[in-house]
Amino acid sequence: MSLSVARPLVSVYSEKSEVVAGAALPLPFVFKAPIRPDLVNDVHVSMSKNARQPYCVSKEAGHQTSAESWGTGRAVARIPRVRGGGTHRSGQGAFGNMCRGGRMFAPTKPWRRWHRRVNLRQRRAAAAAAVAAAGVPALVQARGHIIEKVPEFPLVVADKVQEINKTKQAVIFLRRIKAWSDVLKVYKSQRLRAGKGKMRNRRRVQRRGPLIIYHKDQGLTRAFRNIPGVETLNVDKLNLLKLAPGGHVGRFIIWTQSAFERLDALFGSWKTPSKEKKNFNLPQPKMANTDLTKLLKSEEIRKVLRAPNKRVVRATRKLNPLTNSRAMLRLNPYAAVLKREAVLGQRRTRNARALALAEKRGIKLPEDDTAVKAEKLREKRTKAIKVAASKKPKKPVAKKTAPPPPKKKASKEKKPAAKK
């Protein structure tokens, strides 16, 4: 239910295309009907088949021979051949669609289904859609009409127009309301048809111009009928083939005032069904609120959506933790401790070995030798710790098993309690 219909006022233009003050009409509800180009196209396709004349080939075509196949054994193809002799035709192939002078494949029949019936409801909905589309200047321009200078859309003209009976006046009127450029376009588009239609009485083509919809014909049709492209239509007999030529919505329509006023009675509003069309109410739109941007930004919809996941997950390169220390620490922080122990242990054993060897061989190592220095440092430290421990008040000192991972610097810190 398009509850959000606002009915703006459409001003009426006199035949001299000045605004008639005070005569502003509210927009009929038809112009708010859902615009369904797909529906209009479907209905148009079916409707335009209804004016067709049947065509077919003659039913004896290709069979007016008494040809018979020669059979096998004569070194010729087995196609039926014309009997007799004494003429070119004898012995030629006949009857087949591949033969010269034979009948065509699937000869066209007059009982082909030429006409299509369209559901009444669909027809009416398509008409409503076409009228609604004609009220949107963007669509009319998209269809190709020249409507730049037209003062208002939909274009409603005073009823005086219905009394125009001279083509000259009609032209002046069209000029005044700036519809003439559309007619000029028609002039420019007049050309010969491409193809065989030329020799089939469809020689010239031109595009469509404005459509004038009236309520009472007091000379209007005769005045406008010689202007190329312009068509007239009675509002009681709206024709989809004229409202949406080619199946494309958005014809440039000029309404007369009384025709415009009839639209409400013809199509009704959603609340009130149509008076003229039995059992008809305007079709319900699929979306009541079509402003997609507004919908997407609305709080009600935003609240129900989950948060956008903008994190792009890229494939990580696998680094071998057994060789890459940072990868190892990421997985196992204790590895730093183990590594450190290994390094220190190695150093310690190396130093101890050097000292033991020196002692065994009876060599005195120089003062700046690493092993000697390390040993001296260790003795100094144990002494300092003993002193500090004795100075402290006797409290049970909790033995720390492992301190938090030490920084990997080349400092010569030793754990006095654990090793040895």
Partner 1 sequence: MVAVTEKKASAEKKVVKGKEDSKKLPAVPESVLKHRKRRSALRARRVQVTIKRRSAAVKKRKEIFKRAEQYVKEYRIRERDEIRLVRQARNRGNYYVPGEAKLAFVIRIRGINQVSPKVRKVLQLFRLRQINNGVFVRLNKATINMLRIAEPYITWGYPNLKSVRELIYKRGFAKVKGQRMPIASNTIIEQKLGKSNIICVEDLIHEIFTVGEKFKYASNFLWPFKLNNPTGGWRKKTIHYVDGGDFGNREDKINELLRRMV
Point out which residues bind partner 1 (CB under 8 A).
Answer: 5-6, 8, 27, 32, 34-37, 132-133, 135-139, 153, 286-287, 290-292, 297, 316, 318-322, 327-328, 330-335, 337-338, 401-402, 404-405
Q: In the bound complex, what is the minimum distance in angstroms from residue 309's beta carbon to partner 1? A: 13
Residues 190, 396: Cα–Cα separation, whole Å: 113
Q: In the bound complex, what is the minimum distance in angstroms from residue 253's beta carbon to partner 1? A: 14
List b or e across 249-277, with b for residues whose CB sees 16 or more CB atoms inside 10 angstroms. Answer: bbbbbbbbbebbbbbbebbbbbeeebeeb
List b or e across 305-330, with b for residues whose CB sees 16 or more CB atoms inside 10 angstroms. Answer: eeeeeeeeeeeeeeeeeeeeeeebbe
| Phi and psi based region of residue 154 (left: phi greater than 0; alpha: psi -120 to 50; beta: remaining) | beta
Residues 337, 403: Cα–Cα separation, whole Å: 9
Give the chain's count of helices (H) and strands (E): 13, 10
For the beta carbon of residue 36, count every other beta carbon within 10 angstroms.
Answer: 22
Q: In the bound complex, what is the minimum distance in angstroms from residue 238's beta carbon to partner 1? A: 20
Nearer to partner 1, 106 or 292 (CB): 292
Q: In the bound complex, what is the minimum distance in angstroms from residue 331's beta carbon to partner 1? A: 5
- For residue 243 the two structure tokens come to 């409202």
Nearer to partner 1, 155 or 371 (CB): 155
Nearer to partner 1, 338 or 377 (CB): 338
Nearer to partner 1, 294 or 364 (CB): 294
Nearer to partner 1, 29 or 224 (CB): 29
143 neighbors 249 (Cβ within 8 angstroms): yes
Nearer to partner 1, 299 or 367 (CB): 299
Q: In the bound complex, what is the minimum distance in angstroms from residue 134's beta carbon to partner 1? A: 12
- For residue 275 the two structure tokens come to 């008076």
Q: In the bound complex, what is the minimum distance in angstroms from residue 212's beta carbon to partner 1? A: 21
Task: Give residue 251's identity as a one-letter amino acid code.
Answer: R
131 neighbors 252 (Cβ within 8 angstroms): no
Judge if the upstream peptide bond of residue 228 is cis by omega within 30 degrees of 0: no
Residues 92, 80: Cα–Cα separation, whole Å: 8
Residues 101, 99: Cα–Cα separation, whole Å: 6
- For residue 276 the two structure tokens come to 């003229």
Nearer to partner 1, 86 or 404 (CB): 404
- Closest Cα to residue 154, out of 140, 168, 174? 140
Nearer to partner 1, 5 or 77 (CB): 5
Cα 375 to its chain centre, rounded Å, is 82
Q: In the bound complex, what is the minimum distance in angstroms from residue 8's beta carbon to partner 1? A: 6
Nearer to partner 1, 70 or 153 (CB): 153
Q: In the bound complex, what is the minimum distance in angstroms from residue 405's beta carbon to partner 1? A: 7
Residues 79, 93: Cα–Cα separation, whole Å: 6
Nearer to partner 1, 35 or 211 (CB): 35
Q: In the bound complex, what is the minimum distance in angstroms from residue 319's beta carbon to partner 1? A: 8
Q: In the bound complex, what is the minimum distance in angstroms from residue 323's beta carbon to partner 1? A: 9
For the chain, how far is it from start to end, CA to CA, in angstroms?
A: 90
Q: Where are the beta strands (DSSP E) in 16-126?
A: 19-26, 68-69, 80-81
Q: In the bound complex, what is the minimum distance in angstroms from residue 363's beta carbon to partner 1? A: 37
Nearer to partner 1, 6 or 194 (CB): 6
